[in-house]
């Protein structure tokens, strides 16, 4: 494999942690941050082989990488991933809260187990990881959270629980921006629209309807979302903001 050494770029010398980085938006983000010069740690739960493949892709760009098994639904593992990443790569400058779960369905069919799992992973896990990251980030730190277009517009029934969990992250992001701004740490949230991933493929049974809800009439790519994350990882005067990468879903 040819190795391309990344010796420059806006994130040169930085260390990033991408939760849920073994596939989809997380994997694309890990690789994009490496292209911008960062060393990258990523977490996974079940996709060990996929995570190791992302590590190889990052290393092929001349950056250091490590894959850590950590369940965002476990309080100790969610916070502990920050310490493990920092220990492996020598610090932490950028946190990308990407790990999440989605349970869609009629309101009356959602069980307490569904509610607990979604809120535990999507809200508590992000809070604890952000808390741990903020405790050790230097000035110039970046916390970037992956939300959803459904936090801005819910186009139909069945998304109550998922939209609730992701909407909570908007408040968390704005509060983090206020709390950490004086330390030179920014916090922002990115809302992807329908995006081609393993969990929601562009040729899936519900894809046509989702694409029709966008202004551009198509799915986005994981790389398009990752490009916004990379921008925010380097941006200095942007914080407490929401960014839609949704093809006009919320228009």
5 in any annotated domain? no
CATH of the domain at 51: 3.40.50.720
In a domain, 146, yes or no: yes
CA distance 43 to 26: 9
Domain membership of residue 2 (yes or no) is no
Q: Give the model's confidence band at 5: pLDDT under 50 very low, under 70 low, under 90 confident, else very high.
A: low
**What beta strand segments (E) does 46-141 contain?**
65-69, 94-97
Tens-place pLDDT, residues 188-203 = 999 999 999 988 999 9
Q: Is residue 204 part of a domain?
A: yes
Asked if residues 210 and 13 have their Cβ atoms less than 8 Å apart, the reply is no
Domain count, the chain: 1
Rounded CA gap, 34 and 50, in Å? 17
* Range 142-157 average pLDDT: 94
Q: What is the DSSP letter of 121?
A: I
The set of catalytic residues is 162
DSSP class of residue 146 equals E
**Bridge partner residues of 144 (DSSP):** 96, 188
pLDDT value for 199: 86
In a domain, 192, yes or no: yes
Residue 210's domain spans which residues?
Answer: 15-242
Residue 1 lies in a domain: no
By the 10 Å C-beta count (0-12 exposed, 13-18 middle, 19+ buried), 241 is classed as: middle
């Amino acid at each position: 494999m040819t190795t391309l050494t990344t010796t420059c770029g806006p994130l040169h010398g930085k260390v990033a942690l991408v939760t849920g980085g073994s596939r989809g938006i997380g994997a694309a983000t890990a690789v994009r941050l490496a292209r911008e010069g960062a060393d990258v740690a990523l977490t996974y739960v079940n996709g060990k082989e996929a995570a190791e493949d992302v590590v190889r892709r990052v290393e092929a760009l001349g950056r250091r990488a490590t894959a850590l098994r950590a369940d965002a639904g476990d309080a100790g593992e969610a916070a502990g991933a920050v310490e493990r990443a920092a220990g492996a790569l020598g610090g932490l400058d950028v946190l990308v809260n990407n790990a999440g779960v989605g349970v869609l369905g009629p309101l009356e069919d959602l069980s307490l187990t569904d509610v607990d799992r979604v809120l535990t992973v999507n809200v508590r896990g992000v809070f604890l990881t952000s808390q741990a990251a903020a405790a050790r980030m230097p000035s110039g730190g970046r916390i970037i959270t992956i939300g959803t277009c459904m936090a801005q517009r819910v186009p139909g029934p069945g998304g109550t629980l998922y939209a609730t969990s992701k909407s909570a992250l908007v408040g968390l992001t704005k509060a983090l921006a206020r709390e950490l701004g004086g330390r030179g740490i920014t916090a922002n949230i990115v809302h992807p629209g329908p995006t081609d991933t393993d969990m929601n493929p562009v040729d899936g049974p519900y894809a046509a309807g989702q694409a029709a809800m966008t202004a551009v009439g198509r799915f986005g790519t994981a790389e398009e979302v990752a490009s916004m994350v990379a921008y925010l990882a380097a941006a200095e005067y942007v914080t407490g903001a929401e960014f839609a990468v949704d093809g006009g879903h919320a228009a």
